[in-house]
Amino acid sequence: MLLGTLTVIFLAVGWLVGGVVGMGIALILAVFINFLTYWYSDRIVLKMYRAKPLDNMNVSKLVKLLSKEASIPVPKVYLVDSKTPNAFATGRDPRHSAVAVTKGLLDLPFDELKAVLAHEIAHIRNRDVLVATMAASLGAAISYLAQIGYWMIFMGGERKGEGSIIGLVLIVIFAPLAAVLIRMAVSRSCEYRADWVGSLMTKQPKALASALRSISDSARHHPLKHGSSATAHMWIVNPFHRDWFTKLFATHPPIEKRIERLEGMVIKRGKK
């Protein structure tokens, strides 16, 4: 439903920018973007962060163990060259998935590293990754069309054909906002669920709470320098610089709220 809403907004923006022709072009672009992100989302994101295959026996064993617990195929593991601890999952389905971790994440205590990996495995198990990636791609495309509308208003004078300057102003204001709000709705529900499922797998919700606290503090002082903010919701914690404006459109639930929920979880351990 959310992806459908994004597509409708995308077509509406195309109509306001170029009338029937603009809507037709927007439809073609929407189909192309959906196709591209479905089949190549993992490659696109991994290449964006220059991720390379990770050769680490301990991490590989953890991923294999957690994948077995989640009853999914073992995803490939990649390394992102960043000292700030963080991780994300990508791919179109459990059989075509990958988990990327930063160098900084490998320095976390073992139980926290395991908890973060379980969170990402949970995303794959819950099939959150494809929806998040496609929502990000469509949201970025809508924002791009809004920029075209901006230049048409302030640089190109009044537009001929259907629509009006008011319509184009609505594009500049409403389209990016709608895209961000929908992407935020996707991400927040997915993050809470992945926190829960990942903690059930490890039976250590407090370890994930501790990891989230460490990752958030590190990201605040050492934000990621490269990459796209359109992918911020894919990381376990927003890795980019945060100010009052970016907080207004935060794609993750508040860290304090996630930690509070995790610390309030009570998991009964089975008797051996």
Active-site annotation, residues? 120
- CA distance linking residue 65 with residue 56, whole number of Å: 14
For residues 181, 182, 184, 187, the Cα torsion angle rounded to the nearest 10 degrees is: 180
- Residues 182, 135 contacting (CB under 8 angstroms): yes
- Cα atoms found within 13 Å of the Cα of residue 216, Cβ hemisphere only: 14
Give Cα 255 distance to the centre of its chain: 16
Q: Amino acid identity, residue 207?
A: A
DSSP reduced 3-state for 49: coil
- CA distance linking residue 27 with residue 114, whole number of Å: 42
Helix 110-125, helix 205-221: angle, nearest 10: 100
- Cα atoms found within 13 Å of the Cα of residue 252, Cβ hemisphere only: 25
- CA distance linking residue 169 with residue 18, whole number of Å: 14
Give Cα 5 distance to the centre of its chain: 18
Q: Amino acid identity, residue 75?
A: P
- CA distance linking residue 259 with residue 186, whole number of Å: 19
Structure tokens at 5: 């809403």
